[in-house]
Structure 1
Amino acid sequence: MSLSSHDTTRRQVLARTGALGAGIAFTGALSELFAGTAAAQSPGHTGYGPLVPDPDGLLDLPKGFRYRVLSREGDQLRSGEGPVPSNHDGMAAFAGRSSGRHARVHLVRNHENRANGKVPVPTVEGLTYDPQGKGGCTALALDSRNHVLSERVAIAGTAVNCAGGPTPWHTWLTCEETEDKAGTNGYTKDHGFIFEVDPVDPHRTGAVPLTAMGRFQHEAIAVDPRRGVVYETEDAFERPFGLFYRFLPEKPLGGTGSLRAGGRLQAMRVPGVPDLSSIQETGAEFDGVEWVDVPDPLAAGTPIRHQDFGRGGITHAQKLEGCYWGGRSVYFVSSFARSDDGSAADHYGQIWRYDPERRRLTLVIVFGPDTDVRLPGESPDNICLAPSGGLMVCEDGNGAQHVYGVTRRGEVYAMARGAQNIGTPDEPEWGEFAGVTFSPDGDTMYVNCYTPGTTFAVTGPWRR
């Protein structure tokens, strides 16, 4: 999730003009962000109140909230398999049993390690794809008080595990954000795949790439819970930019392992729109969206986004990242676009909705530009629905790093601030947040600090 080469653009989003003094432009229907969720009370104009400096120097929270450190990079995994890997990224929480010493929550956590990963995911027999891959996932089981019952490797030997998404049958799809092939960076196998991870018993899913779902720089996925179609975003770093995909499984909603049965990978074509950044007006609708079969999903010779999609070409977009299902539609995010990078136009963030029944694509939210980078809201990355009825968004940019909330009324408030200085006293620096997610009962927010890799459980008066 790290922006690395993109962190020179400072932007703040998810606020209305003047909200909390942010003074940024915001157009579109905020209610779109919460489609399909139950109505709930949101915090007031000041959220949960000001952040209180943490005397332990880890995580600043509002009064009444508290955190527990579940895991830190370099510590030993409870399984004894090796040290906790670095670069904590995307994450999801799944329900477990609720009594005795049985797990109440199962967490699956990505580790976005590249070939030079600081603390690699330990290799484990039966769970390792490529012994030279440094990325993967770890799984934590927690009791009702967020005590760690177990912590172990869930998949190893993968690379640059960025985001992903949960399935309706309660597994995690972890995505490799790379196109490196065997022989590159020391890898012995091709990378750029999606892998399925069972949070309770990782050996059920093993380390098998879901090759039919494509080989490209994956970011996130969302599953249509009615049809079983899997939507995928591609965060390509250079032109031509990424595509928005759908995967039509041979066995839709078939449960764990069913995606191995294969299917068809298609890319979205919006007739007359080669680059989504060229669309700037919220509410713009495009009917008759087409889905074109990907010529070579394994990208054996040519990356998919470079392939020939025939007459009419294909539709690209810069920084395609978040992806989630709401109501009867899939939503996906273009975090920003810059004409200097080759995009058709500049923007500070778009949220698009695709309605599969109507085959209609709608631009529902447009953000930017920024005016006050001291406030929370720069460079949003991971996003999740909150029990308040609003959103929690992880920040990834320069300066102070926040988890910030957005109410249904469009108010932005700071929920957490990283206090671990990874810079110097004169030039402080803080690691980005990633993987924000809530326990199934909504009582705990789990979130990662990317560097130094730290997983927090945050509890408090969420339903106030």
Structure 2
Amino acid sequence: MPLSRRSLLTSGAATGAGLVVAGALQPAAALAAPATPAHGGSRTRLFPPLTHTEGDLLALPRGFSATPVAVSGSTEVHDGTGKVVGATPERPDGTLVVAGPRGYRLVQNHEASPGSAAPVPFVEGTVYDRGALGGGCTVIETTRQGARVSEWVGLSGTISNCAGGPTPWGSWLTCEETEAKAGTGGLEKDHGYVFEVFAGAPTDQVPRPIAAWGRAPHEAVVVEPSRQRVYLTEDASKPTGLLYRWTAPAGYKLRAGIADHLGPDDGTLEALAVVGPDGGILPDLAYVTAGQIGRPFATRWVRVPDRHARDTSLRKQFADGAVTHSKKLEGAWGDRRGMYFVASFAFAAGDLPADATPHDGQLWYYEYATSTLTLVAYYPYNPLLHSETLDPETGLGRSLDLAFDGPDGCHVSPYGSLVLSEDGNTANHLLSWSRETGAQAIARNLVVQERTAAGVPVYSEMTGPCFSPDGRVLFGNVQEPGHVFAINGPWRTYLG
């Protein structure tokens, strides 16, 4: 029989309810982590070069194809009963894919704010703040080939839903990248929270914040398999962001419907402090460069004084040198042993300390058992990629699909390898990454967002890479003007 959120609260299965969105979903306990620790996918092979023909929206390896799933402002969104309430919202971002009755269901963020041209529509049962018509989540149903079936609202009345993360039971945790407070710009409630969203009907949703995890410009979240700890990245400036850890009260384990049963002051919220070679705290992750790839750093965790940021932002509550900051702490995704997260870049004045080294991206791995942090990939600062007059299609030449910058989204695939999405300065890709092969381009955005005064094309970032749980289809987005794609091909040949 169809499973509602209420069934999930006791059974641990994913949700599916409502007239149009009916149908039982497969159990989702295995969705949060691959079967083995994600340390690169030992059978990963090299992909063919990217190719495309005129009119294509993505460049892909030979043997792969992309199917449009949703287009912002164009494809229809309904209320869960079949009534159309608007169009696909703008700026698709972080995404979770779970099994569905017809194939798959995507729970997808929209990094939109009040005043957006294509906001997430208000639908009863999904609204957090009626003063914040902008961001939120939609749920997209597809076939097993990734063909669109329908789309409905999962969460509305939130702001700048960037990334997030899966739970062990198959729901999606969506993060607001904002610190906006009630009373500003017409807002009725405070923002900067994490919300849980289910792949079911609007009546299955819990549009309430998980206040215990803190109020900050959160980017992504990872739940430990133990269900007793949660890690959150923060994308912020002046000062730059922190990595946070929430620890549950003794004997408590997270379960579906987090906001229903977790009090605002439950557990402990802490910020990361990385211990340097001299025993002192590294003030910024930018001090770690390519020469330290593979070296584990010890860490400490420092308690956050006021998790609700009543008067002072979380990252501003610490004395200088007490915790470790980083510019652009973005996507994160966990496996059984630990979590990967990215620092997208740090190269401009104010991005990093004056004596630290600029970079175009870092990929980190935090191991739960040892509490160590290891740099596993590094993108050195490349001035060529920062030229405002460089046409990516012609100026990069042979480097077009070899020179990468700005890793942003992060996803551990069912094969154990990673998929990263770029928010770079020139070409933007989806990348396959493993410890054996490093980074490989598996898709490149060909949709021109705009052109500079010199006529140079500007390409939007790619966002939200996520495989279907069976590894058959990779879903990904071009954020502007807002395209969602299903990418089919022989993934198992190269990753499995």
Of 419-428 and 203-212, the range deviating more from structure 2: 419-428
Q: How far has the Cα of 1:35 moved from its partner?
A: 4.5
- Structure 2 matches for 1:12-411, cutoff 5 A? 35-36=37-38, 39-44=41-46, 47-53=47-53, 55-75=54-74, 76-78=76-78, 79=82, 80-96=84-100, 102-133=101-132, 134-239=134-239, 241-250=240-249, 251-257=252-258, 260-262=261-263, 263-271=267-275, 272-273=280-281, 274-280=283-289, 281-287=292-298, 289-308=299-318, 313-338=322-347, 340-341=349-350, 343-344=352-353, 345-348=356-359, 349-370=361-382, 373=385, 374=396, 375-376=400-401, 377-386=404-413, 390-411=417-438
Which digits, 9 at most, give the CA deviation of each residue in 1:59-94, with x for residues without a partner?
232332222111111122154121111011111101
Distance (whole Å) between structure 1 residues aligned to residue 138 and residue 190 of structure 2: 22
Distance (whole Å) between structure 2 residues aligned to residue 234 and residue 378 of structure 1: 19
Which digits, 9 at most, give the CA deviation of each residue in 1:34-61, with x for residues without a partner?
95358453233xx2233122x4342232
**Are 1:105 and 1:439, in contact at CA under 8 Å, matched by a contact in 2?**
yes
Q: Provide closer, same or farther for how the CA distance between residues 341 and 195 of structure 1 changes in structure 2, counting only shifts above 3 A.
A: same
Which digits, 9 at most, give the CA deviation of each residue in 1:239-275, with x for residues without a partner?
2x21111112344232333674133212123352232
2:269 counterpart letter in structure 1: L
1:85 counterpart letter in structure 2: P
Distance (whole Å) between structure 1 residues aligned to residue 287 and residue 208 of structure 2: 38
Q: Provide closer, same or farther for how the CA distance between residues 305 and 457 of structure 1 changes in structure 2, counting only shifts above 3 A.
A: same
**Are 1:219 and 1:233, in contact at CA under 8 Å, matched by a contact in 2?**
yes
Q: How far has the Cα of 1:112 moved from its partner?
A: 0.3
Q: Provide closer, same or farther for how the CA distance between residues 129 and 367 of structure 1 changes in structure 2, counting only shifts above 3 A.
A: same
**Are 1:169 and 1:253, in contact at CA under 8 Å, matched by a contact in 2?**
no
**Are 2:343 and 2:407, in contact at CA under 8 Å, matched by a contact in 1?**
no
- The answer to whether structure 1 residue 456 and structure 2 residue 456 are counterparts is no
Q: How far has the Cα of 1:299 moved from its partner?
A: 0.4
Of 371-380 and 317-326, the range deviating more from structure 2: 371-380
Where does residue 444 of structure 1 map in the other structure? 473
Distance (whole Å) between structure 2 residues aligned to residue 230 and residue 171 of structure 1: 15
Distance (whole Å) between structure 1 residues aligned to residue 60 and residue 223 of structure 2: 33
What root-mean-square deviation, in Å, do the aligned CA atoms of Structure 1 and Structure 2 show?
A: 2.5
**Are 1:387 and 1:463, in contact at CA under 8 Å, matched by a contact in 2?**
no
Q: How far has the Cα of 1:435 moved from its partner?
A: 0.3
**Are 2:105 and 2:199, in contact at CA under 8 Å, matched by a contact in 1?**
yes
Q: Provide closer, same or farther for how the CA distance between residues 278 and 70 of structure 1 changes in structure 2, counting only shifts above 3 A.
A: same
Of 294-303 and 333-342, the range deviating more from structure 2: 333-342
Structure 1 residue ranges without an equivalent (≥5): 1-33, 97-101
Q: Provide closer, same or farther for how the CA distance between residues 61 and 286 of structure 1 changes in structure 2, counting only shifts above 3 A.
A: closer
1:458 counterpart letter in structure 2: I
Where does residue 428 of structure 1 map in the other structure? 457
Q: Provide closer, same or farther for how the CA distance between residues 448 and 268 of structure 1 changes in structure 2, counting only shifts above 3 A.
A: same
Of 72-81 and 417-426, the range deviating more from structure 2: 417-426
**Are 1:168 and 1:253, in contact at CA under 8 Å, matched by a contact in 2?**
no
**Are 2:143 and 2:149, in contact at CA under 8 Å, matched by a contact in 1?**
yes
Distance (whole Å) between structure 1 residues aligned to residue 128 and residue 259 of structure 2: 19
Q: Provide closer, same or farther for how the CA distance between residues 312 and 454 of structure 1 changes in structure 2, counting only shifts above 3 A.
A: closer
Of 413-422 and 214-223, the range deviating more from structure 2: 413-422
Structure 2 residue ranges without an equivalent (≥5): 1-35, 386-395
Distance (whole Å) between structure 1 residues aligned to residue 306 and residue 151 of structure 2: 38
TM-score, reference length from structure 2? 0.78
1:450 counterpart letter in structure 2: Q
1:318 counterpart letter in structure 2: K
Q: How far has the Cα of 1:319 moved from its partner?
A: 1.5
Where does residue 30 of structure 2 map in the other structure? none
Of 300-309 and 167-176, the range deviating more from structure 2: 300-309
Of 72-81 and 352-361, the range deviating more from structure 2: 352-361
Give the number of equivalent residue pairs. 420
Q: How far has the Cα of 1:207 moved from its partner?
A: 0.8
1:223 counterpart letter in structure 2: V
Runs of 4+ in 1 over 6 A off after TM superposition: none
TM-score, reference length from structure 1? 0.83
Secondary structure of the structure 1 residue equivalent to 2:492 = coil
Distance (whole Å) between structure 1 residues aligned to residue 340 and residue 418 of structure 2: 14
Where does residue 28 of structure 1 map in the other structure? none
Q: Provide closer, same or farther for how the CA distance between residues 427 and 342 of structure 1 changes in structure 2, counting only shifts above 3 A.
A: closer
Secondary structure of the structure 2 residue equivalent to 1:463 = helix
1:89 counterpart letter in structure 2: D
Q: Which has the higher contact order (CA 8 A, sep 6+)?
A: 1
Which digits, 9 at most, give the CA deviation of each residue in 1:140-171, with x for residues without a partner?
12222323333101000000000000000100
Q: Provide closer, same or farther for how the CA distance between residues 259 and 339 of structure 1 changes in structure 2, counting only shifts above 3 A.
A: farther
Q: Provide closer, same or farther for how the CA distance between residues 202 and 363 of structure 1 changes in structure 2, counting only shifts above 3 A.
A: same
